[in-house]
Chain A
Amino acid sequence: MPAIDLAKAPQPASTNPAQIRNFCIIAHIDHGKSTLADRMLGITEVVEQRNMRAQYLDRMDIERERGITIKSQAVRLPWRSGIDGQEYILNMIDTPGHVDFTYEVSRSLAACEGAVLLVDCAQGIEAQTLANLYLAMENNLTIIPVLNKIDLPAAQPEKFAEELAKLIGCQPEDCLRVSGKTGEGVTELLDQIVKQIPAPVGDANAPARALIFDSVYDTYRGVVTYVRVVDGHLSTRDQIQMFSTGVRHEMLEVGVISPEPVVSKGLGVGEVGYVITGVKDVRQSRVGDTITTYHNPTTKALAGYKDPKPMVFSGLFPLDGAEYPMLREALDKLQLNDAALVYEPETSAALGFGFRCGFLGLLHMEIVRERLEREAGLSLISTAPSVVYRVVRGDGKELIVTNPSEFPNEKIEAVFEPIVRATVLAPSEFIGAIMELCQERRGALLGMDYLSEDRVEIRYTLPLAEIVFDFFDQLKSKTRGYASLDYEPIGEAEGDLVKVDILLQSEGVDAFSAIVHKDKAYAYGVMMTTKLRELIPRQQFEVPIQAAIGSRIIARESIRAIRKDVLAKCYGGDISRKRKLLEKQKEGKKRMKMVGRVEVPQEAFIAALTTDADVDKAKAKAKG
Chain B
Amino acid sequence: MPLSFYIHIPYCVKRCGYCDFNTYTPGELKEGSDIAQVSNGYIDLLIQEAKIARAEVKTNESIPTIFFGGGTPTLMEPADLGRVLKSLETDFGFTKDIEITIEANPDTVSKEKLAALRGVGINRISFGMQSAAPHVLAVLDRTHNPENVVKATNWAREVGFEQVSVDLIYGTPGESIADWEATIDSALALPINHISAYALIVESGTKLAAQVKRGEVIIPDDDQTADKYLLADEKFSKAGFTWYELSNWAKDGGECRHNIAYWEGANWWGLGPGAHSHTDGKRFWNVKHPNAYRERLESNQSPVMESEILKVDEKESERVMLQIRMPDGIEKNSLTAAALLRLESFLTGGQISSEHWEQGRISLTLSGRLMADRIVREILL
In the complex, how many residues of chain B place their beta carbon closer than 8 angstroms to a beta carbon of chain A? 44
Q: Is the CB of A562 within 8 A of B276?
A: no
Residues 550-570 of chain A, each 1 if its beta carbon lies under 8 Å from chain B, else 0: 000000000010111111111
Known contacts A585-B377, A586-B380; is A566 also within 8 Å of B369 by CB? Answer: yes
Contact check, B371 vs A564: say whether CB atoms are below 8 A apart. Answer: yes
Enumerate chain B residues within 8 angstroms of A566, measured Cβ to Cβ. 246, 369-374
With both beta carbons as reference points, the residue of chain B lying nearest to A571 in the complex is identified as: B262
One digit per residue, 1 when the CB lies within 8 angstroms of any chain A CB and 0 when it does not, for chain B 252-287 equals 000000010011000010100011111000010100
- Is B97's beta carbon under 8 Å from chain A? no
CB-nearest residue of chain B to A560: B223
State whether A582 touches B371 (Cβ < 8 A): no
- Chain B min CB distance to A400 (Å): 43
CB-CB contacts of A498-535 with B at 8 A, as 1s and 0s?
00000000000000000000000000000000000000
Q: Which residues of chain A are within 8 angstroms of B278 by Cβ–Cβ distance?
A: 572, 575
A589 at interface (Cβ–Cβ under 8 A)? yes
The answer to whether B262 and A572 touch across the interface, beta carbons within 8 angstroms, is: yes
A282 to B343, alpha carbons, bound, how many Å?
A: 55
Chain A residues closer than 8 Å to B285, beta-carbon distance: 573, 576
Q: Is A158 an interface residue (CB 8 A)?
A: no
Q: Does the CB pair A565–B373 fall under 8 Å?
A: yes
Q: Among B53-61, B140-148, B317-325, which stretch is in contact with chain A?
A: B317-325
Determine the chain A residues whose CB is within 8 A of the CB of B229 once the complex forms.
564
Interface membership of B174, Cβ < 8 A: no
Q: In the bound complex, do residue B308 and residue A573 qualify as a contact, i.e. CB atoms below 8 Å apart? A: no
Q: How many A-B residue pairs have CB under 8 A?
A: 96
Asked if residues B374 and A582 are in contact (CB atoms below 8 Å), the reply is: no
Q: Does B314 contact A (CB under 8 A)?
A: yes
**A567–B369 alpha-carbon span in the complex (Å):** 10
Chain A residues with CB below 8 A from B40, complex form: none
CB–CB A567/B6 < 8 A: no
Min CB distance B351 to A, Å, is 8
Complex: chain A residue closest to B276, CB-CB = A573
A590 touches B6 (CB 8 A): no
Q: Is there an interface contact between A572 and B201, defined as CB atoms closer than 8 Å?
A: no
Check: B357 CB closer than 8 A to any chain A CB. Answer: no
The answer to whether B377 and A582 touch across the interface, beta carbons within 8 angstroms, is yes
Alpha-carbon gap, A569 to B197, bound state (A): 9
A296 at the interface (CB under 8 A from B): no
Indicate if B349 sits at the interface (CB-CB under 8 A): yes
B270 touches A569 (CB 8 A): no
Q: Are A570 and B198 in contact (CB under 8 A)?
A: no
B321 and A579 contact, CB distance less than 8 A: yes
Beta-carbon contact of B321 and A572 below 8 Å: no
Q: Which residues of B contact A572 (CB under 8 A)?
A: 6, 262, 268, 270, 275-278
Check A563/B275 contact, CB under 8 A, given A573-B285, A575-B283: no
With both beta carbons as reference points, the residue of chain B lying nearest to A538 in the complex is identified as: B222
Beyond A573-B285, A579-B318, is A565–B198 a contact (Cβ under 8 Å)? Answer: no
Residue B336 CB within 8 A of the other chain: no
**A614 at interface (Cβ–Cβ under 8 A)?**
no
Q: How far is the CA of A86 from the CA of B199 in the complex (A)?
A: 89
Which of B6, B225, B275, B276 has the most chain A CB atoms closer than 10 A to its own CB? B276
A540 contacts partner chain B, Cβ-Cβ < 8 Å: yes
CA distance A505 to B201 in the complex (A): 32
Given A572-B262, A582-B317, the answer on whether A567 and B373 have CB atoms closer than 8 Å is yes
CB-CB under 8 A from B283, the residues of chain A are 575-576
The answer, yes or no, to whether A578 is at the interface (CB within 8 Å) is yes
CB-CB contacts below 8 Å: B342-375 with A: 345-346, 349, 367, 369-374
Whether A563 pairs with B223 at a CB distance below 8 angstroms is yes
Across the interface, B325 reaches (CB within 8 A) one of A570, A573, A585, namely A570
Which partner residue on chain B sits nearest A585 by CB separation? B377
Check: B381 CB closer than 8 A to any chain A CB.
yes
Q: How many residues of A contact B (CB 8 A)?
A: 24
- Do A579 and B377 contact each other (CB < 8 Å), given the known contacts A563-B226, A564-B229, A573-B275? no
**Cα of A143 to Cα of B159 in the assembled complex, Å:** 103
Task: Choose from B262, B370, B376 the contact partner of A582 (Cβ within 8 Å).
Answer: B376
Given A575-B322, A576-B308: A568 and B247 within 8 A (CB)?
yes
Minimum Cβ distance to chain B for residue A505 (Å) = 14
Q: How far is the CB of A478 from chain B (nearest CB, A)?
A: 29
Rounded to whole angstroms, the CA-CA distance of A564 and B275 in the bound complex is: 30
Looking at the assembled complex, report how far the CB atom of B5 sits from the nearest CB atom of chain A, in whole angstroms.
11
* A569–B322 CB distance below 8 A: no
Is A583 an interface residue, CB under 8 A from the partner?
yes
Measured between C-beta atoms, what is the minimum distance from B371 to chain A in Å? 5
Q: Given A578-B321, A579-B318, are A564 and B381 also a contact pair (CB < 8 Å)?
A: no
Contacts of A576 in B (CB 8 A): 276, 283, 285, 308
Do the beta carbons of B370 and A564 come within 8 Å of each other? yes
| Contact status of A563 and B374, CB under 8 A, knowing A571-B259, A573-B274 | no
Cα A579 to Cα B321 in complex, Å, equals 8
How near does chain B come to A573, taking the closest CB pair, in angstroms?
4
Q: How far is the CA of A589 from the CA of B278 in the complex (A)?
A: 29
Tell me the bound Cα distance from A572 to B259 in angstroms: 8
Q: Report if A563-B247 is in contact (Cβ < 8 Å); known contacts: A540-B349, A572-B268.
A: no
Inter-chain CA distance A589–B380, complex, in Å, is 11
Contacts of A563 in B (CB 8 A): 222-223, 226, 367, 370-371
Q: Given the known A-B contacts A571-B259, A572-B268, A572-B276, are A564 and B223 also in contact in the complex, defined by CB atoms under 8 Å?
A: yes
In the bound assembly, the distance between CA atoms of A568 and B314 in angstroms comes to 21
Q: How far is the CA of A582 from the CA of B379 in the complex (A)?
A: 11
Residues of chain B from 200 to 257 with CB closer than 8 A to chain A in the complex: 201, 222-223, 225-226, 229, 246-247
In whole angstroms, how far apart are the Cα atoms of A565 and B226 in the complex? 9
Most buried by B among A573, A575, A586, A589: A573
What's the minimum C-beta distance from A262 to chain B, rounded to whole angstroms? Answer: 63
Among B229, B371, B372, B373, the one with the most A-chain Cβ atoms within 10 Å of its Cβ is: B373
Contact B374–A568 (Cβ < 8 Å): no
Collect the chain B residues with CB atoms within 8 Å of residue A585's CB: 373, 377
Question: With A566-B370, A573-B270 given, can you name 7 additional A-B contacts, CB distance below 8 Å?
Answer: A568-B198, A570-B263, A570-B325, A573-B274, A582-B321, A582-B376, A582-B377
A contacts, CB < 8 Å to B: 540, 560, 562-573, 575-576, 578-579, 582-583, 585-586, 589-590
Query: Considering the complex of A and B, which 5 residue pairs feature the smallest CB-CB distances, nearest first?
Result: A573-B276, A568-B198, A565-B374, A563-B226, A564-B226
Listed A/B pairs (14) with beta-carbon separation below 8 Å: A540-B371, A563-B371, A564-B225, A566-B369, A569-B198, A569-B247, A570-B246, A570-B262, A572-B275, A573-B276, A575-B262, A575-B278, A582-B321, A590-B381
